[in-house]
């Protein structure tokens, strides 16, 4: 016991010595980083009452410089949040460039979250400044405004809807807008998002053609169609196979580029609202049928069935239109789920999506096989 006690004591002494050495090194580094104040070279007289400048570490100086550089690099189109009272206070110090009077007031024209600011001279009624003159506040010729569209787009990226936009506007003390207006912005955002996605998918397919030709020496056939190796999987908005929303995508196995996708939805809030009006007899059956015919093209509901069936259905839709993009997904790398592959082989009366001449073959993903083996072993 005595020997162990001596060992523990010697260990404590070593730890204490190491701690003191570390503290001494830290003090040395802090002193080295400290910038000593330099007296002015133009005068040899020492002012006893002068307050010495505050010591600034090199890290703080670098931080201040970086902030200054960032401020200089920021775009003039940067958005700022300010109060109306601050704008009114600024307007009091503005001189009219026509009558030279210091009698300028501010006016605000609200368009959802966007605000057009006008500075008007009370003496000669001359508009000194109008933020709406630049034309940069609107989204093209749509009549919609940029900042409002950006806020709605951000909320949608976070997976929320109109209620979240209202909550955000309340917290920031901004003007609210109706659900109908929100629907107009949502439609605008969705249309542009689809255009952007289609452009990305087009460039991805072009890159796949180039990669197969240069690296795999695999070229399109006489009809310009290329056979590729692809992996496929689906996902849902919620777990438990009870989700109303699902998405499936096919990915090239060599470049990891997404080539196509299919989004599926089991509900449509607009249809549900119209059905409630029909049930309350606010509209007639003829009016509902007429509305339904016009609404089919924009209806968000594009799937009937169980949530678990979304993944096989998405595969059928994607494989069915692959020829339109001059692609054949002939080698299907599976995640171990056979239901999707069986649905593909049963297309076209059992001939598969491309007929008997181009059968789809299934290969198992090594990672998924390893995961299942590990689960079975335990």
The DSSP result for 113-149, as a single string, is TEEEEEEEETTT--EEEEGGGGS-SB-TTSS-BHHHH
Pairwise CA distance, residues 21 & 27, whole Å: 10
User: Using one digit for the tens of pLDDT, what is the confidence trace for 77-115?
Assistant: 677 888 888 888 888 888 888 888 888 888 888 888 888
**Spelled out in words, what is the top-level CATH class assigned to the domain 82-137?**
mainly beta
User: Using one digit for the tens of pLDDT, what is the confidence trace for 254-299?
Assistant: 999 999 999 999 999 889 989 999 999 999 999 999 999 999 888 8
DSSP 323: G
Q: What is the mean pLDDT of the chain?
A: 82
The two three-digit tokens of residue 40, written as one number = 């002015």
Question: Hey, is 29 helix, strand or coil?
Answer: helix
pLDDT, average across residues 11-36 = 65
Q: Report the percent of the chain where pLDDT is more than 90.
A: 32
pLDDT, average across residues 323-343 = 85
The CA distances from residue 360 to 95, 226, 263, 342, in Å, are: 76, 14, 23, 10
- Tell the residue number behind the tokens 């009366």, with chain if given: 349
Which of 325, 329, 327, 335 has its CA nearest to residue 347?
329
- Per this entry, what is the length of the chain? 378
User: Using one digit for the tens of pLDDT, what is the confidence trace for 33-68?
Assistant: 554 444 444 444 444 455 555 555 566 656 565 655
360 close to 319: Cβ distance less than 8 angstroms: yes
Of residues 1 and 121, more confidently modeled:
121
The CA distances from residue 50 to 41, 45, 56, 57, in Å, are: 15, 11, 18, 21
User: What's the topology of domain 220-262+308-378?
Assistant: Nucleotidyltransferase; domain 5 (3.30.420)
Which of 77, 187, 184 has its CA nearest to residue 136?
77
């Amino acid at each position: 016991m005595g020997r162990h006690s001596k060992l523990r004591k010697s260990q404590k002494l070593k730890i204490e010595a190491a701690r003191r050495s570390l503290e001494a090194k830290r003090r040395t580094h802090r002193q080295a980083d400290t910038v000593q104040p330099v007296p002015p070279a133009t005068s040899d007289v020492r002012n006893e009452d002068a307050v010495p400048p505050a010591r600034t570490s090199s890290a703080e100086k670098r931080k201040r410089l970086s902030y200054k550089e960032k401020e200089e690099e920021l775009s003039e189109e940067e958005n700022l949040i300010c109060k109306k009272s601050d704008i009114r206070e600024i307007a009091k110090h503005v001189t009219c460039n026509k009558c030279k009077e210091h009698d300028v007031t501010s006016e605000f024209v609200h368009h959802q979250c966007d605000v057009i600011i006008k500075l008007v001279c009370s003496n000669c009624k001359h508009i000194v400044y109008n933020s709406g003159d630049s034309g940069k506040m609107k989204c093209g010729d749509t009549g919609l405004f940029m900042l409002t569209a950006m806020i709605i787009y951000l909320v949608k990226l976070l997976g929320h809807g109109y209620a979240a936009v209202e909550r955000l506007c309340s917290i920031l003390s901004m003007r609210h807008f109706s659900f109908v207006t929100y629907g107009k912005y949502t439609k605008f955002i969705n249309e542009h998002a689809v255009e952007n996605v289609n452009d990305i998918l087009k460039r991805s397919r072009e890159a796949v053609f180039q990669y197969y030709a240069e690296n795999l020496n695999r070229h399109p056939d006489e009809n310009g169609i290329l056979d590729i190796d692809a992996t496929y999987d689906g996902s849902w908005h919620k777990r438990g196979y009870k989700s109303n929303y699902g998405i499936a995508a096919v990915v090239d196995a060599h470049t990891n580029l997404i080539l196509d996708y299919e989004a599926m939805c089991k509900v449509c809030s607009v249809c549900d609202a119209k059905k409630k009006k029909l049930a309350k007899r606010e509209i007639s059956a003829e009016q509902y049928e007429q509305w339904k015919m016009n609404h089919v093209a924009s209806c968000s509901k594009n799937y009937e069935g169980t949530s678990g069936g979304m993944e096989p259905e998405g595969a059928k839709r994607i494989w069915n239109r692959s020829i339109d993009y001059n692609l054949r997904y002939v080698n299907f790398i599976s995640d171990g789920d056979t239901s999707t592959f069986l649905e593909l082989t049963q297309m076209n009366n059992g001939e598969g999506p491309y007929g008997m001449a181009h059968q789809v073959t299934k290969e198992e993903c090594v990672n998924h096989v390893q995961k299942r083996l590990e689960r079975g072993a335990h």
